[in-house]
Amino acid sequence: MAEFKQKAFGLAATDTSGVLSPFHFSRRDNGDDDVTIKILYCGVCHSDLHSVKNDWGLTQYPIVPGHEISGVVTKIGNNVEKFKVGDRVGVGVLVNSCRTCDVCQQDLESYCPKMIFTYNSTDKDGTMTYGGYSDTVVVDQHFVLRFPDNVPSDAGAPLLCAGITVYSPMKYYGMTEAGKHLGVAGLGGLGHVAVKLGKAFGLKVTVISTSPKKKEEALNKLGADAFVVSTDAADLQAAMGTMDFIIDTIAAVHSLSPLLSLLKMNGKLVTVGLPDKPLNLPIFPLVAGRKMIGGSDFGGIKETQEMLDFCGKHGIAADIELIRADEINAAMVRLAKSDVRYRFVIDIGNSISNL
């Protein structure tokens, strides 16, 4: 492990048990284009859980997860003009890209073949990137995001992954036309933000879930217009052919047939969840209804800032459970059972130093 002068402290997993424990490491010195951030909060994403357990076969240990980072600027480089010390800022899923390819030129750094993730990636200097379950981070200014005044640092942190992961496909696939009908499959970290964004865009929003007990919360707390239990034949029959779009946030293996049945002709099913096994795709309903199935990753930096500003304008933030750093392993067990409403956020600033 490379040694830099700037000491850092965080939580790392060292094997496929995924158990996180205290970890001392170092960050690079603040360069001319860099911003050093004191991390105050970090959201706990489902990707973090997959990564610490090496579910996707890509993990290099030790791994410090976390890519929903919010904090304050403590140092800036000579070339930094967008930020000043004391600014509230965030860092999302990536910390660098090639900056020159076609997709980077279109502000779609999230699709760059040389993208560098916020954690578990090889940085340009050959060192591993370590994420936001830590007390400080150094990031190129291009990949730092400004928090609007009315987006809270704690409940705003999950917007940097969960928020942009649903905002980006909603924009790209045209799910922003007021009066249209949006289905949101899965009411977890991504799904609950999709409901809020859908209502802000003026859509009719129906939550599609296997869990009837989420109905009251979906309708009365999150503002959804309707609720469909995806395992209830009567519910599915009543809603069949009524939706213009469905955004599928489900991270577990699941059947696409019930979702496709809910779409109108020319309807679009866009999947953003990442199940660890392939899904079975039925072709007949696609052909018979001229329906489309697509995918989307998180958005580029420009679009992520646009999303944050949109959330600021419309008073949107995640619904969170704030936890201490020493509660992270218990939180991961609960996350694996989908037992969270709706995103864990680690109170890094007030608890990481107590480990």
Query: How many percent of the chain have pLDDT more than 70?
Result: 99
- State the alpha helices, DSSP H only, in the chain: 46-52, 102-105, 153-156, 162-172, 189-200, 215-216, 233-239, 257-262, 284-288, 301-314, 328-336, 348-351
DSSP letter string, 139-156: EEGGG-EEPPTTS-HHHH
Q: Give the pLDDT confidence score for residue 5 in this predicted structure.
A: 78
Q: What is the torsion angle, in degrees rounded to the nearest 10, for the CA atoms of residue 256, residue 170, residue 343 and residue 349?
A: 150
DSSP, collapsed to helix, strand or coil, labels residue 316 as: coil
Q: Give the pLDDT confidence score for residue 315 in this predicted structure.
A: 96
Q: Mark the ranges of the chain whose per-residue pLDDT is less than 70.
A: 1-3
pTM score, two decimals? 0.95
Q: How far apart are CA 333 and CA 331, in angstroms?
A: 5
Q: Give the pLDDT confidence score for residue 276 in this predicted structure.
A: 79
Q: Give the pLDDT confidence score for residue 47 in this predicted structure.
A: 92
DSSP classification of residue 113:
T
Q: Residue 104 phi/psi, 5° resolution?
A: -65, -40
Longest dimension (CA), the chain: 63
Strands 292-295 and 263-271, bridge-based pairing: parallel
Residue with tokens 């705003």: 156
Q: Give the pLDDT confidence score for residue 326 in this predicted structure.
A: 97
Q: Give the pLDDT confidence score for residue 1 in this predicted structure.
A: 58
